[in-house]
Every structure is written in structure tokens, then in C-alpha cells.
Structure 1
Amino acid sequence: MSFTLRDATLSDIPAITEIYEDSVLNGVASYEMTPPGEAEMTERFSTIIGNGYPYIAAVDPEGALLGYAYASAFRTRTAYRFIVEDSIYLAPEARGQRVGKALLAELIRRCTALGFRQMVAVIGGAHPASVAVHRAAGFEHGGLMKGTGFKHGRWLDTIIMQLALGEGTTTDPQPDVYPDTLYRK
């Protein structure tokens, strides 16, 4: 499958909403039960972009959105400001086509360049494909939370995976990567 990566834009919101809706209704990556509409997805997108995090789109040669990925705050307390959480969602036809792998690699590259030191994946439903793509990118198992969600008539586990970015914890971070004002004290 041929595709390119680029920054996601507001014009991608209808397709982003459609991809996420499929994940909410048919998958376990998200523990949401009711898919949000375009207005809510626009607000989420604007918040992520507005806080300086990367939001990436994968598009086919005709420009159709195949998937998207973004980084966001893992937690909003100040001490967590050097850690990001990744999120990746793919259109059904893009699954198993290396689109997720490419999106994750680009997200890691961008977050490292921004000065983040850790990336965390919170994998709903302990989804094997998501675990595999993160493991292939160098993520390590960080923990298992059993029965954290109930969706599609079954209890779901959540796997935490983690990847050190850049110098990780070997050196102190630059204090001005993201100002403390974005975080609760």
C-alpha cells in the first residue's frame, strides 16, 4: 500500500471522525462507547495542536486519509511534562499495511526532536497488533491492568508500554521544553 505522511489539518477532521467512529463502535483501542461528532473531534484536535504536540496523517496517493497519530500529555501534573502518550487510529483498509508502523516512527521522531524523554502507550484491550507495532518500535512492557474496561460484552485488559526518547533518563531535561503553565502544579 502506497501512502505518505503529513501534518494533519482541520480539513482532515471528517475523515478522522469517521476512522475514530469505527474504532469506537467496532474496536477496543478506545474505551469510549459513543463516538464523538466532528465538533468534539475538532476541539480535541485544536487542543492537541494548540499545546504544541504533533498530529500526523497518513494519506493514500489520491489524498484519502488512511490513519492518523498524535502525541498528547500523559498526565497534566508538571512533573510529567517530559512524557507523552501516543495514539494511533487506522482506517480498516489500512490495518496490517505498515501504516501504523510508519505513523508511530514519525511520531517518535517528532517527539524526540521536541525534547520529550519518554513515550507511553496505553493499549486498550491489550490489542495484539498494537502491542506488536509498539514492540517493533522498541517499546518495553510497562505493566498490565486487568479488567479495566467492559466493552462488547467482555472485560478488557490494558497494557502499558514505554519507550525512552532521546537521552531518556540519562541526563536532566531542558526546563523550557514546555512551559509549566500547560500543566497543573
Structure 2
Amino acid sequence: MNLSSELTVRDAKLADLPAIVAIYNQSVPGGWSTADTRPVSVDDRRAWFERHDPARRPLWVAETEREVVAWVGLSSFYQGRPAYDATAEISTYVATSHQRRGIGRFLKERMIAHCPNLGVTTLLSMYFDHNQATRRINDTLGFETMGHLTSIAVVDGMPRGLIIAGLRIPPNVPNDSHVACST
């Protein structure tokens, strides 16, 4: 699959929120990628959606044949306190029907490439310590473990830890090429 030619990546619109929520909710029962233990609603996620800003904290969707099949977004770290402006957390979710095709990695790579344009110099990926798929992707992209909070969550009756992985991103250099959001 040539992802750059088969997927359209674009800024999310409010009309995409139901699809974004549906994809997110697919991850709840497995307990691999979210600490939510029950599905969230579109209303639950409206304020979260509105905190995204294409110029600072983008939220992108990936479409194939006009169907949203994945999303990636940046969130401000530590409730957006100003000293952390150059740090963002990345979240990536892929519809179960489209997993294991490289879409998550593709979206994460695109967002990493776009980070200098956003002023992001530290990108954080937080994931459960039993989530080997995210660990493998992060390792190949150069993320390093910055912290491991052991047994801080209970998922399906099992204690789970949280890995905090970070990627240092050089700041944008004048005359650098800019990464476009859409393909």
C-alpha cells in the first residue's frame, strides 16, 4: 500500500468528530491504547476537539475513499502551561479495519515532520507499557523512554504502567521546506 497516494490527510473539521470518536471508541474494549474504560460521546469530545488549532496543535484525519480511517493530533502538555509551549503530546488512532497497514506510523511520521513548523521541539508519546505495537513504532522513529510510571492504571482488572517516550525535534531553520498537511 502506497499510503501517500492512497490516503488523504487533512485538517479535521467538526463534521469529522463522529468518525474520530468512533475510531477512538474502537480502542476502548481492548485496553491497549486508552485509559477510558467506556466509550466516549461526541459531546464528551467537543471541547477537546475545539482545543486543536491547525497553527499550533493540529488534528488531522486520514481518509481513503472519503471515509475517515485514522486520525493524529497534538495536544498541549501539562494543561498548556506556557513554559511547556514547545512540548506537545501526540495521539494516533487507526480504525480496527485499517490497522496493521502502516497508517499509524505514516501519520506519526508526517506529524513529526510538521512539528518544526509548529514550534514543537519535544514530542511526547504516552502509552501503556504492554502496548508493544506503539513501542516498536516509537523505537523506530527515535523516541526514547523518559519515564515509566508502573502500575498506575487498572485496565480490565490488570495493573498497567505508563511509558512516557520523548522525541527531540530540532527547531525550524529559516528557509526550511514546509510540510503540507494535505496530500
The within-5 A match list for 1:97-136 is 97-136=101-140
CA deviations 1:43-76 (Å, max 9, x no partner) are: 211112388311111111x111111010011113
Residue among 56, 71, 78 paired with 1:52: 56
Following superposition, the deviation at residue 3 of structure 1 comes to 2.2
1-structure distance, mates of 2:9, 2:55:
21
- Measure, in 1, the Cα distance between the counterparts of 2:60 and 2:111: 7
Alignment deviations for residues 116-154 of structure 1 (CA, whole Å, 9 cap, x no partner): 110011112441111111111111121211111101121
1:153 is matched with which residue? 157
- Indicate the SS of the match to 2:51: helix
Q: TM-score by structure 2 length?
A: 0.84
Kindly, what percent of the aligned residue pairs are identical?
26
Unpaired runs of 5+ residues, structure 2, are 173-183
TM-score, with length taken from structure 1: 0.83
Report the more deviating stretch, 44-53 or 83-92: 44-53
**How far did residue 11 of structure 1 move?**
1.5
Aligned with residue 28 of structure 1, among 18, 28, 32: 32
TM-aligned CA distance change 1:167 to 1:111, over 3 Å: closer
Out of 28, 41, 47, the position equivalent to 2:45 is 41
| Number of residue-to-residue matches in the alignment | 167
Once residues 54 and 167 of structure 2 are traced to their aligned partners in structure 1, the CA distance between those partners, rounded to angstroms, is 24
- CA–CA separation in structure 2 for the residues paired with 1:35 and 1:49: 25
Aligned partners of 2:67, 2:101: CA distance in 1, in Å?
Answer: 15
Structure 1: distance between partners of 2:11 and 2:55: 15
CA RMSD of aligned residues (A): 1.8
Q: Distance in 2 between matches of 1:70 and 1:11?
A: 16
